[in-house]
Each structure stands twice: as structure tokens, then as C-alpha cells.
Amino acid sequence: MMHPFLAFALSAFLGVICVKIIKREVGKMTGDHPIGEQKLLFWWLSGALPLVMDNRFLVASAAFLFSWGLYAWLFLLAGMDSSCMAFSNRVFYGLAVLLFALSLRITKIVLLERLIAYLIIRLMFWGMTFLFRKFRQQEGIGNGDIAIFSWLGLMFGLNVTVMMILLSTILALLFSRSERFAFVPYIAAGTMIVFYFLCPFLN
């Protein structure tokens, strides 16, 4: 098992790498858009602290790789979304496929259940988007947000993902200050809270 101080040092190093990736990808999408590197690193370390202090996330295993990979994936997407309201498909799918493969090893959810969860979440949000466009002439939720929730469905199944969706939505309603805002940071927060407290394979 890794010592917490070593884990925190490695986490800080990984955080610096993630911030550099966010800066590079945002630069590709927007030109020379400032991203607030110190603020992002502060949020990385704040979010990583529960992982560093919990022995479940310090034992070398597939669950260890999945836990930190999930946090890094969500942080990268949230950092890009909060900076320019978009994220890189290369970063999204590159890590999503890896996390899905790891989830097959550490959860007992059968593949069919994962696929059903993916389709239900897609259809649910597509229906919501259609209704928003028809009656309010608004998008409602972005395609990127739908993609994240859909892939979470592939990793965790329907029941856990619904809890992630509900908590992410509650956090957005409580803390967002405008009608148009970056939703991925709330998805990241809601997902990691549910993952930390409710995912049984980590117990």
C-alpha cells in the first residue's frame, strides 16, 4: 500500500500534467484562452485529498487505476468545459475506453446491463433535449454532457448512474449562477461523491 504522503506528491505531479493537458487542448480549441492554471491545480488537489487519505485508493490494483483514472478523466473534461464550454473528443474517448475496460474487471455488472443503461440514458436525454428545443427554444443539455452520462452508464450501470445524474443536477441547481453554465464540473463533483460513498466494489 502506498504511503499517503507519497500518494499526495504523486497526485500533485499528476495534477500538473492534467492542467498542462487542459491548457494545450483549450489552446487548440480557442487559440490563446487563459485557463487559470493555479486555480485548476488547487481544485485538483482539493478533489484528490479524499482519495489520498483513504486506504481503498492506495492499494495497487485495477480498482486503484480505475479510481484515479476516473478522477483524472472527469477533471480534464471539467477543466476544459469550465474554460471554453467544450472539451476534446480525443481526451474524452481515449480515457473513456480505458476506464470502461477497467470497469469490466472490477464490477460484476454484465455487459447487456451496461448497454441497456447506455441506451436508456441516451434516449432520456435526447427526449429532454427535444422537448427543450420544441417548447423553450433552448438546448437544455449539451451533447458532451449526454456523452459523459452515457459512458458512466456503461461503467456503473443504470442505478448508480441515475444517482450521479441526480446529484450532479442538484449541485448545479444550488451553485450555478446563470442560465448558461458549464455543467461538467457539477457532473464531476456529483460522480465522484457517489463513487466515493456508494460504489460497493471499493469497500
How far apart (Å, rounded) are the C-alpha atoms in residues 96 and 34?
Answer: 26
pTM: 0.90
**pLDDT greater than 80 at residue 3:** no
For residue 70, the model assigns a pLDDT of 95
Share of the chain above pLDDT 90, in %: 52
If 0-12 CB within 10 Å is exposed, 13-18 middle and 19+ buried, where does residue 190 land?
A: buried
Determine contact, residues 195/155, Cβ cutoff 8 Å: no
**pLDDT, tens only, 49-79:** 888 887 776 666 778 889 899 999 999 999 9
Helices (H) and strands (E) in the chain, counts: 8, 0
Spacing of C-alpha 171 from chain mean position: 14
Q: What is the mean pLDDT of the chain?
A: 87
Q: In the predicted model, what is the mean pLDDT of residues 21-45?
A: 85
DSSP3 helix / strand / coil % (the chain, rounded to 5): 80, 0, 20
In the chain, domain spans: 62-202
